[in-house]
Amino acid sequence: MKFWNYIFGLLVLILVVIALAITQIPDSNLHIVACNIGQGDAILIVYKNIQILTDGGPDKSVLNCLGSHIPFWDKDIELVVSTHPDADHSTGLVEVSRTYNIEKMLINSTDPGTSIYKVLKNEVGGRGIEVINPIDGMSLRVDMIRLDIVNPTETMLARLSIENEGDKLTKYSIKNNTNLYSIVYKLSFKNFSGLFTGDMPPEVSDRLSESGKIGKVNYIKIPHHGSVNGMTENLLKETLPGIAVISVGKNPWGFPRPEIMEMLAKYGIRVFRTDTKGDIEIITDGSKIWKKN
């Protein structure tokens, strides 16, 4: 009797694993998931068996999001983008690097001297992850996904003090204003485009609105969790996104600020917030766009 109970239990387990695997078979759409990780940023982009992760949030809760949206057998992340070294964006990347095999990391060579950045630097260097330092005008291709870097610029980086010439992780010393150097990129997938903004400040937002490099987009990640020190109306008028996502958690600053919410409403933009909606998954086939659930 015990033998047959064991066989029955084993068969049930096999069926559960098969059913779970079937539900996680990737489709041919692009999935953009703004992870609900509290007050911070972590955005996962999935296309078939390819994953791009932008930032990792303030702790290891990003792993829960990745586990929900990446098949359990897939332990490879093709590209990680660390927009800037602030703890609410970069802390979770330490655990991500310990849990997944990261092929490439897009990261500025700006060293703020913080303890979390030292840990992240050691993890990246110790695991032999290929490091790419972004610069305005650079383009990267990951299968059908194209990333066009629009911030930081070479002129901006030239203002920083050189700490370690030739070091892709610690070339420049930076003690404040890390948001100014946030990696900002435009993503293109067939006829779909999105703007991913990190914590860029208003001066970057306004420069991009005048650059002629962005144009209209379908999706925008509102910078700096909806702070007034981020999105400007000039850029909003230039991009006119159909969907705006705000990654935010409980905070003492009143993010997202009413001024930002009113500005988005003025242009009729659909807004989704992680603090009220949880993980926000936007899907596109390259033409149509929809929100999961």
Name the superfamily (CATH) of residues 27-291: Ribonuclease Z/Hydroxyacylglutathione hydrolase-like (3.60.15.10)
pLDDT in tens, 240-270: 999 999 999 999 999 999 999 999 999 999 9
The three-class DSSP label of residue 188 is strand
Helix ranges, 127-244 (H) = 154-158, 202-211, 233-239
19 falls in which pLDDT band (50, 70, 90)? very low
Residues 191 and 291: their CA atoms lie apart, in Å, by: 17
Residue 203 Cα to chain centre, angstroms: 21
pLDDT in tens, 101-123: 999 999 999 999 999 999 999 99
Rounded mean pLDDT, 135-164: 96
Residues 64 and 42: their CA atoms lie apart, in Å, by: 11
Dump the DSSP string for 204-234. HHHHHHHHSS----SEEE-GGGG-TTT--HH
CA dihedral angle for residue 40, residue 271, residue 268, residue 266, rounded to 10 degrees: -40
11 falls in which pLDDT band (50, 70, 90)? low
Residue 6 has a pLDDT of 65
Residue 26 has a pLDDT of 75
Beta bridge partners of 54: 43, 81
- pTM for this model (two decimals): 0.92
172 falls in which pLDDT band (50, 70, 90)? very high
